[in-house]
Amino acid sequence: MDKKIEFYESWCKGCGICAAFCPKGAITMDKMAGKPVFDEEKCIACGLCELRCPDYAVIIKKKDKE
């Protein structure tokens, strides 16, 4: 599926909610940086991380195939 994960690092507080509840395990928390790392391959663009991020730091854009 064609999608784009936009991550606004300066808004992210590193709470880990996006990673904990991603149904595909597409997000891991970088322990050093304290920020999420997204695996576009695994992501199914369900949008749950965007819905649950308390800081509006993730946006999942689905691009419809032409």
Partner 1 sequence: MEKNVVHKYLRKNKKFPHIWCPGCGHGVIMSSMLRAIDKQGLDRDDVAVVSGIGCSSRTPTYVDFNTIHTTHGRALAFATGLKLAKPDMTVIVVMGDGDAVGIGGNHFIHAARRNMDLKVIVYNNNIYGMTGGQASPTTPSGKKATTARYGNIERSFDICELAKATGAVYVARSTSYHVQALEKYIHRSLSKKGFTVVEAMTHCPTTYGRLNKIKEPVAGMIYQKDHFIMKAAWDKLPEEKREGKFPMGEFVDIEKTDFVSKYLRLIEANKE
Distance of CA 17 to the CA centre of its chain: 10
Q: Are 11 and 31 within 8 A, CB to CB?
A: no
20 binds, among ligand SF4, partner 1, none (CB under 5 to 8 A by kind): partner 1
59 binds, among ligand SF4, partner 1, none (CB under 5 to 8 A by kind): partner 1
10 binds, among ligand SF4, partner 1, none (CB under 5 to 8 A by kind): partner 1
Residue 45 CB: number of other CB atoms within 10 A? 18
Q: In whole angstroms, how close is the CB of 9 to ligand SF4 at the nearest point?
A: 8
Q: Which is nearer to ligand SF4, 13 or 66 (CB)?
A: 13
d(CA 45, CA 50): 10
